Amino acid sequence: MATSSVSKGCFVFKPDFKKRKISVPIEDYFNNEKVQSEDSKLRFETYHLLWQRIKSETEELQKKLNENLFDNLVDFLQKSHSEFQKNSRNWACQLKLREIPTAALILGVNVTDHDLIFRSLTETLQNNVTPYVVSVQAKDCPDVKHFLQKLTSHLMDCCVERKFNEEKSVKTLKRTNYSMDSLASWYATVTQVNETEYSERKRTSSSQWPAPPVVLILSDMESFSTKVLQDFISISSQHLHEFPLVLIFGIATSPVIIHRLLPHAISSLLYIELFQSLSCKEHLTVILDKVLLTAQFPFKISKKALQVLTNIFLYHDFSIQNFIKGLKLSLLEHLYSQPLSVLCCDLPEAKKRVHSLSVHQCENIRRLPSFRRYVEKQPSEKQVALLTNETFLKKETQSLLEDLHVYHINYFLVLRCLHNFTSSLPKYPLGRQIRELYCTCLEQKIWDSEEYASAVQLLRMLAKDELTNILQKCIEVLNSSTEKQLGNTAQKIKDFLAQFQNLDADSKEDEDACGSEAKGLQKTDLYHLQKSLLEMKESRRTKKQTKFEMLRENVVNFMDSLVRDYLLPPESQPLHEVVYFSAAHTLREHLNAAPRIALHTALNNPGYYLKNEALKSEEGCIPNTAPDICIAYKLHLECGRLINLVDWSEAFATVVTAAEKMDASSTASGEESEIIHARFIRAVSELELLGFIKPTKQKTDHVARLTWGGC
């Protein structure tokens, strides 16, 4: 429908309910023009199920990681007004209660994760401490009036048990101005509890108080105005005996910010206790350990893709939520672009799906580089069967998928054992974190690297206590696996431990031998002393290894054999493309955006984004059909540091009027010149908004260019 009006207006078009909404089938979302596959719906369902499992696992992990912090906060809040509850008439106690209990929660610079933490904290406090939990942000509180208004409105939304008192108090608050006096009277009305109600509630929920506190969370404390915080704290401290307020400051930088924002007269009204959350790097380590470094989830990420995700985390935002979104994007891209990702599921289900593979999917298996390398190593008869017989191919595919699953179980067990051996070595030749060791193992055969050789050399110098502790950790790693693999590896490590424990008697013999050598040096004659020293030096060169040194050598050789047998790179395994996502460039394009490159491409070649063939031009030419901002951008690239606006405007008019073949300075009418001038001003304003130019005081009719070079 079209409308025409002289003045501005609002036109409402009622929807036609007779027209039914056309629903798009689910499989259409996974239809890839470049990849022909008939399993698009099944791949979409596989993605949905896999992501739900990964999402629930990550949420549970984050909940466990924050559990200790939340428990400490709950204890602090429960004890904050306990003395006042017992001795409310004590004058000294009332003076002490002028200090507002304040929890300074240090969360780190990963600001994008703070909302999730505060939502979980609010839910925990409402379930264990008080129903009156309010969270406010600095953008909603420009002054004290709006602060109290926001606090009051959020308190009205809190869930309380006495609905009648709540409705009555709401009406009272609506009639009065927002102030701390009105909040105190509202709180007194809502928290009126007789003995029967209190005893009944005490039987059902012992953690609830008869008069619970009001918890106010300032999620971005650094962003609040200093005057607003000072006034609110000063007012609240005067009403603390009738309005039990507890503050929680969300701090991203350092607790010193409290004393920078608040003078001593105001900070002395706060009883501050610090609470430190776990480092975001520890969160990342746990998520990698439980999601990627396990055979529980069939989906895996290659070395380059994992480096893209970890580099964005370590060098950009430290955000666990963004890292999880990167995992989600990786899973989505893998199941969208790889037709054989339909087999990226649990092993029993994957074996069932192999039976229903079509002829086209069997050809996709034969085209895989890893499968082609596997076929080349087989005898000629088996090669013919794999390339011609689909039934035999499906049976072999099932066997290879099972081998891939066993490979991952053994791989991660040996990886953790190797990490226990190398994580405490000097200078960390193979990395301090397990993710660093994992990336090295993904890239190459780790035993061929110089870092591994130096690590083995250091392992041959470990003391007995260090070795026994490491072997004990390896036994715990092997026992933690539900699927028993690696043969009798655990038993061999236990035997090594037993042998180390039997070395105490031998160590005493070595000490006696050393003592006898020392006695041999007690000769006062210089000639005999020199002779004895030379004999000892020669004997040390040719002496045999002690039992401990031999046993330590056996342990290091045993670990080296495990590494060479089980830590082969994933590229060596047939059908690894089914479960491994390797398109790191796709992740980089979506997650690590380069805005300058995108802006330069859009302004220099608008046809790339607008999909318009008419906008394409030869290099160095400026098409007059391009948008005005593109014409102005290309013209400004030809200028130096200062751009003359008059010359720029004339060049712009020349390009714009090239289609009519007229001279903009002489033949164009006055009205057309004004329109072209207005278009030029708008284009220049847009370039200034994008940050390409800025006004300059050096010359009034010039602007300064802010960018140089191409992209």
Distance CA 49, CA 45 (A): 6
| Beta strands at 693-695 and 702-705: parallel, antiparallel or unpaired | antiparallel
Q: Are 628 and 676 in contact (CB under 8 A)?
A: no
More confident site: 550 or 206: 550
Average pLDDT over residues 45-74: 93
Average pLDDT over residues 557-568: 94
Looking at residue 199, its pLDDT comes to 43
Give the single-character DSSP code of 176.
Answer: S
Two tokens, residue 199 = 């005893």
Residue type, 182: S
Categorize the per-residue pLDDT at 212 as very low, low, confident or very high, splitting at 50, 70 and 90.
Answer: confident
In order, the DSSP letters of 593-626 are --HHHHHHHHHH-THHHH--GGG---TT---TTS
Q: Identify the pLDDT of residue 207.
A: 43
Q: CA of 586: how far to CAs of 369, 458, 593, 645, in Å?
A: 21, 40, 11, 41
pLDDT of residue 595: 83
Rounded distance between C-alpha atoms, residue 217 and residue 228, angstroms: 15
Higher pLDDT, 165 or 296: 296
DSSP assignments along 330-377, one per residue: HHHHHHHH-GGGGG-S-HHHHHHHHHT--HHHHHHHHH-HHHHHHHHT
Nearest to 262 by CA among 238, 227, 215: 227
With 80 as the cut, is the pLDDT of residue 176 above it? Answer: no
- Residue 349's nearest CA partner among 27, 45, 576, 37 is 45
CATH 3.40.50.300 residue spans of the chain: 67-196+208-277
pLDDT per residue as tens digits for the range 437-456: 999 999 889 999 999 999 99
DSSP state of 315: I
Mean pLDDT of 642-652: 91
- Max mean pLDDT among 362-371, 479-488, 515-524, 620-629 falls in 362-371
Asked whether the beta carbons of 660 and 603 are under 8 A apart, the reply is no
Question: Which helix (H) or strand (E) covers residue 489, if one does?
Answer: helix 489-501
pLDDT over 90 at 333, yes or no: yes
Q: Are 703 and 642 in contact, with CB atoms under 8 Å apart? A: yes
pLDDT digits (tens, 9 = 90+) for 359-404: 999 999 999 999 999 999 999 999 999 999 999 999 999 999 999 9
Other CB atoms within 10 Å distance of the CB of residue 233:
18
Please, are residues 158 and 133 in contact by the beta-carbon 8 Å criterion?
yes
Regarding predicted confidence, which is higher, 159 or 602?
Answer: 602
pLDDT score at 11? 63
The pLDDT value given to residue 607: 82
Mean pLDDT of the chain: 82
From 299, 296, 287, 308, select the one nearest 439 (Cα to Cα).
308
Comparing C-alpha atoms, which of 465, 490, 488 is closest to residue 477? 490
State the pairing for strand pair 642-644/270-276. unpaired
Mean pLDDT of 676-704: 90
Residue 616 confidence class, pLDDT cut points 50, 70, 90: confident
pLDDT at 429: 92
Q: Judge whether residue 174 has pLDDT over 80.
A: no
The pLDDT confidence band at residue 86, using thresholds 50, 70 and 90, is low
For 624-668, what is the HEC assignment? CCCCHHHHHHHHHHCCCCEEEHHHHHHHHHHHHCCCCCCCCCCCC
pLDDT of 409: 93
Give the Cα separation of 328 and 50 in Å (integer): 10
Q: Which of 85-89, 119-123, 153-157 has the highest mean pLDDT?
A: 119-123
Helical packing angle, 450-459 and 547-566, nearest 10°: 150
Residues 416, 421: Cα–Cα separation, whole Å = 9
Q: Which of 587, 562, 399, 405 is nearest to 490 (CA)?
A: 562
Stronger pLDDT, 71 or 609, i.e. the higher one = 71
Please give the average per-residue pLDDT across 305-309, as a whole number: 94
The pLDDT of residue 599: 87
Residue 35 has pLDDT above 90, yes or no: no
pLDDT number for residue 1: 46
What burial class does residue 65 get, using C-beta atoms within 10 Å of its C-beta: 0-12 exposed, 13-18 middle, 19+ buried?
middle
Q: What is the pTM of this model?
A: 0.80
Indicate whether 194 pLDDT > 80. Answer: no
- What band does 20 get if pLDDT is binned at 50, 70 and 90? low
Say how far apart CA 641 and CA 619 lie, in whole Å: 23
Q: Which positions ≥6 away from 40 have C-beta within 8 Å? A: 27, 28, 29, 30, 31, 32
C-alpha distances in Å from residue 453, one per residue of 374, 449, 556, 564 = 30, 7, 12, 13
With cut-offs at 50, 70 and 90, classify the pLDDT of residue 97: low
Q: Look at 536 and 471; give whichever has higher pLDDT.
A: 471
pLDDT confidence band for 539 (50 / 70 / 90): low
Contact by Cβ (8 Å): 459, 421:
yes
Region of 411 on the Ramachandran plot (φ > 0 left; ψ -120 to 50 alpha; else beta): alpha
Least confident of 87-96, 351-360, 532-541, 629-638: 87-96
Q: What is the pLDDT of residues 125-139, one digit of tens each?
A: 988 888 899 999 999
Q: What is the CATH number of domain 67-196+208-277?
A: 3.40.50.300
| Sheet (strand 214-218) strand order | 133-136, 214-218, 245-251, 100-106, 270-276
C-alpha 419: how far from chain center: 23
Q: How would DSSP label each residue in 98-109? A: TSEEEEEEE--S
Instruction: Give residue 12's pLDDT band: very low, low, confident or very high (50, 70, 90).
Output: low
The answer to whether residue 422 scores a pLDDT higher than 80 is: yes
More confident residue, 623 or 18: 623
pLDDT at residue 26, as a whole number = 63
pLDDT the model gives residue 553: 92
Q: Is the pLDDT of residue 95 over 60?
A: no
Q: Is the pLDDT of residue 458 over 80?
A: yes
Torsion sign over Cα 147, 149, 150, 156: positive
Residue 643 in this model has a pLDDT that exceeds 80 = yes
Give the pLDDT confidence score for residue 411 in this predicted structure: 95
Dist. CA 330–CA 310, nearest whole Å = 13
The amino acid occupying position 697 is K
Q: Look at 294 and 487; give whichever has higher pLDDT.
A: 294
Identify the CA nearest to 32 among candidates 343, 424, 407, 338.
338
